[in-house]
Structure 1
């Protein structure tokens, strides 16, 4: 199949990130392309997956992916993330679905100003403390309140499931040495990070420009993922640990996938990111399409921006 001169899909032809399935984890298989689908082949046979319906494709150890498959995923605006065993390690990711830099510019402007950065950070914490006024709290106070909240959530689910809880502890170099609940938490959070990462880059934002977390190439991913852990990954991890399953990582990822789909987390995550960066609590699902058209402008020190694709030599 020749790719020379192949037409790229227009933004309006692509499936919105909020309407896609959450993530697909593959390992120990060959990933190829068949028309507008990617295929995963191992000793059991071949499975076809519509590329445009996938939010993020997680490629684990033992996967071989063809140039044609990557080309299709890129054209479909689907994020491809290379991960380690059981999805715990993150290595690299593919391209963004976004055709506009407006959210990225809003993110950069907000994070580089102390006042607006604090506003966004407070808004993030306010989402975790519904009904509470956090508008006057300092970051130290917010961190302390959040730490107490998370400890209470761990205790609550420990009592609910009967799974003993000591502390959050894991060794990324020695997965099997961790307690079952900590293994499940690592697997669940890793899947959540991949999902959130796919939404962040699909909207054209920077995973590195965080408001609460800082100094890491996935700081903003951790910011957004923390909004959902108490209701998503923590209860799932304790449930899986209580069942004493053989493959904790695989079972946990399936539970997270189902919960993300049933709870429409992709749509919610996309909406939350836009609300936080725009400072607008009224953003609806219908507003998502605003970000999906291609505009190339030129920066101007007086008029902010002028139209691109225009010859300006005659001005002089």
Structure 2
């Protein structure tokens, strides 16, 4: 049997759904993921579910999932990030494709990351987004880290008091998710989902996941930076709400509640705006066109597709 699926052209920028308009994430487990035209289908013992691939921010593939090559192809064409997550969703591996054809934002990120002064300026701006009641303009790196740690501890205590959940501190064993109490399990589950969502937006905007301004040395440093922007506002309070409701099925209940909260607050739209403002407040984007130029001296950009051997560029 022949097929023309692989012969379909990749979707252009005008055809792709903006990152801010997508579903935050879709979680699947114990099923087979296929392609049906330009959508994906998940088939399990209960039947078949159709999912428009262009509306997905991140597809989380849990235990027992199988995914076909053609399903991955359409997900790549639509710019969705895909994460294989472990039991209870506590391990995360992902890839994706930018929705933009422009390198403007990743170039702005690289420029700000490469200079130590602008790098800490972005770190301070991230702190200010998280805690707008405090001015970090004079804080050095160690002071930023110390103040951030104190604010997060304060958030834990405040949410425990609000929900009445007995809090004994943050404990996380990456090899044993069930070792923590309900609040710790919910915090971990919420964090892992937020990493997936942040990775989807970072990839969709064409940024580098590895060039972080607070985190460093990891392929997802910038993803961790962005996910942390919403930890004390969304992730931790929601986790304590879930823990206070009961200790059964903490991880799936956290994922569902977080998905609803993200959609209600339009977090993807906010995430896109925050990244753009942090890296390039007035970026020169060309999202709806494929523009390739050649670099010359003094910041001059030349049209590509031409041979300049016989031209006087000076």
**Shorter-normalised TM range:** over 0.9
Task: Give the Cα–Cα distance (whole angstroms) in 1 for the partners of residues 163 and 6 of structure 2.
Answer: 57
Q: 2:170–2:184: 8 Å Cα contact kept in structure 1?
A: yes
Give the C-alpha shift of residue 47 in structure 1.
0.4
Question: Which of 144, 147, 162 does residue 145 from structure 1 map onto?
Answer: 147
Question: Which of 261, 269, 272 does residue 270 from structure 1 map onto?
Answer: 272
Aligned residue for 1:230, secondary structure, equals helix
Report the counterpart of residue 295 of structure 1 in structure 2.
291
Q: 1:24–1:58: 8 Å Cα contact kept in structure 2?
A: yes
Give the C-alpha shift of residue 22 in structure 1.
0.5
Q: 2:21–2:269: 8 Å Cα contact kept in structure 1?
A: yes
Question: Which of 5, 13, 38 does residue 3 from structure 1 map onto?
Answer: 5
1:16 aligns with 2:18: yes
Task: Give the Cα–Cα distance (whole angstroms) in 1 for the partners of residues 61 and 288 of structure 2.
Answer: 27
Give the C-alpha shift of residue 82 in structure 1.
1.9
Q: 2:101–2:286: 8 Å Cα contact kept in structure 1?
A: no
1:123-152 Cα deviation digits (max 9, x unpaired): 111112214322122122222221221111
Q: 2:102–2:286: 8 Å Cα contact kept in structure 1?
A: no
Task: Give the Cα–Cα distance (whole angstroms) in 1 for the partners of residues 35 and 131 of structure 2.
Answer: 45
Give the C-alpha shift of residue 4 in structure 1.
4.3
Give the C-alpha shift of residue 315 in structure 1.
2.8
Which ranges in structure 2 are unaligned for 5 or more consecutive residues? none
Go from structure 1 to structure 2 and tell me whether the alpha carbon gap of 1:169 and 1:293 turns closer, same or farther (over 3 Å shift).
farther
Report the counterpart of residue 231 of structure 1 in structure 2.
233
Task: Give the Cα–Cα distance (whole angstroms) in 2 for the partners of residues 208 and 105 of structure 1.
Answer: 13
Aligned residue for 1:215, secondary structure, equals coil
Report the counterpart of residue 310 of structure 1 in structure 2.
306
Runs of 4+ aligned structure 1 residues displaced above 4 Å come to none
Report the counterpart of residue 254 of structure 1 in structure 2.
256
1:191-237 Cα deviation digits (max 9, x unpaired): 00100010001000011100011111111111111110111110111
Aligned residue for 2:83, secondary structure, equals strand
Q: 1:17–1:202: 8 Å Cα contact kept in structure 2?
A: yes
Report the counterpart of residue 115 of structure 2 in structure 1.
113
Which ranges in structure 1 are unaligned for 5 or more consecutive residues? none
Aligned residue for 1:257, secondary structure, equals helix
Counterparts of 1:128-277 in structure 2 under 5 Å?
128-277=130-279
Task: Give the Cα–Cα distance (whole angstroms) in 2 for the partners of residues 131 and 157 of structure 1.
Answer: 19
Report the counterpart of residue 45 of structure 2 in structure 1.
43
TM-score between both structures, scaled by the size of structure 2: 0.94
Question: Which shifted more, 63-72 or 123-132?
Answer: 123-132
Aligned residue for 2:256, secondary structure, equals helix
Paired residues in the alignment total: 310
Task: Give the Cα–Cα distance (whole angstroms) in 2 for the partners of residues 309 and 80 of structure 1.
Answer: 34
Q: 1:102–1:291: 8 Å Cα contact kept in structure 2?
A: no
Give the C-alpha shift of residue 259 in structure 1.
0.5
Question: Which shifted more, 245-254 or 292-301?
Answer: 292-301
Task: Give the Cα–Cα distance (whole angstroms) in 2 for the partners of residues 81 and 307 of structure 1.
Answer: 38
TM-score between both structures, scaled by the size of structure 1: 0.93
Question: Which of 61, 64, 68 does residue 63 from structure 2 map onto?
Answer: 61
Aligned residue for 2:294, secondary structure, equals strand
Give the C-alpha shift of residue 305 in structure 1.
2.4
Task: Give the Cα–Cα distance (whole angstroms) in 2 for the partners of residues 303 and 310 of structure 1.
Answer: 18
Q: 1:98–1:201: 8 Å Cα contact kept in structure 2?
A: no
Give the C-alpha shift of residue 279 in structure 1.
4.1
Report the counterpart of residue 32 of structure 2 in structure 1.
30
Q: 1:260–1:266: 8 Å Cα contact kept in structure 2?
A: yes
